[in-house]
Amino acid sequence: MVRGGPRVREWVTAVASTEFDTPEGAGRASLSADPATDDAGRLILRCAAGERAALHTLYTAMAPMLLGLAARMLGDRRLGEEAVQDCFVQVWRNAAQFDPALGGGRSWMIGILRFRAIDLRESERRRAPINPMEMEAADQAGALGATPPPPMDDRMALRHCLGQLKDAARHSIMMAYVEGCSHAEIAERLDQPLGTVKSWILRGLASLRECLER
């Protein structure tokens, strides 16, 4: 493989090392997701101007959250790290395409990470093990303080609107978003017909929109 050799060696080295050091400042830094003070967005614009320090600041603030998500979606920490690495490289390369008028920098980066993780997931054909306890925890949107969270108002609204959904729709949407599951995987896990799951998700999203725009 063109890039496989060195990368595989890195993996082997990384697997051999059991120690995971904290990068400078990680865990302490947090970026506001408020559109009025879109710190992540501003840093992405600085990346677009070729400023490496801005990428590092983004990394320090966002990498732990992105790695948590990627590892969850891929069910594998090494693969999660690969997704995060690819994500930051893409953020750097595509920073000029970030449009602050469309949305915040944080959700833009999460989008990039999730597509990368979904692609890796499909190519690896690995399944993140489903953990009902975790699903419950994830269900209580806003209960845990992950960095960096969206504005409180938005979180409250989302939590409220998620709560209005039927359990089946909420679980399906959470599985798709947090675990990166496809329709077929959700159908398999919940032991339901594919069409039913598709319908739950579509109607769930429609209800969520209706509720959030109210």
Among 40, 108, 169, 187, binds other proteins (CB under 8 A): 108
**Total number of residues that touch other proteins (CB under 8 A):** 102
Per CB under 8 A, contacts with other proteins among 2-21 are: 2-4, 10, 14, 17, 20-21
Helix (H) or strand (E) holding 104: none
Write out the two tokens for 85.
């690495």
Is residue 198 within 8 Å of residue 208, measured between CB atoms? no
* CB 165, min distance to other proteins, A: 12
* CB 121, min distance to other proteins, A: 9
In sign, the C-alpha dihedral spanning 103, 77, 25, 135 is: positive
Is residue 70 within 8 Å of residue 78, measured between CB atoms? no
Return the ∠ at Cα 186 (arms to 149 and 65), rounded to 5°.
Answer: 20
Per CB under 8 A, contacts with other proteins among 41-70 are: 45, 47-50, 52, 55-56, 59, 63-65, 67-69
Instruction: Please state, in angstroms and rounded to a whole number, the distance separating the CA atoms of residues 120 and 73.
Output: 10
* CB 116, min distance to other proteins, A: 5
Instruction: Please state, in angstroms and rounded to a whole number, the distance separating the CA atoms of residues 138 and 136.
Output: 5
* CB 27, min distance to other proteins, A: 7
Residue 130 interacts with other proteins (CB under 8 A): yes or no: no
Per CB under 8 A, contacts with other proteins among 77-106 are: 77, 80-81, 84-86, 88-90, 92-97, 99, 102-104, 106
Residue 196 interacts with other proteins (CB under 8 A): yes or no: yes
- Running DSSP on this structure, what letter comes out for residue 143? S
Instruction: Please state, in angstroms and rounded to a whole number, the distance separating the CA atoms of residues 65 and 148.
Output: 7
Residue 23 interacts with other proteins (CB under 8 A): yes or no: yes
* CB 109, min distance to other proteins, A: 9
Query: Smallest Cα–Cα separation from 39: which of 152, 156, 158, 151?
Result: 151
Write out the two tokens for 71.
């590892």
Per CB under 8 A, contacts with other proteins among 136-195 are: 137-147, 149-150, 154-155, 158-159, 162, 173-174, 176-178, 180, 182-183, 193, 195
Choose between 36 and 102: whose C-beta lies nearer to other proteins: 102
Is residue 91 within 8 Å of residue 55, measured between CB atoms? yes
* CB 126, min distance to other proteins, A: 15
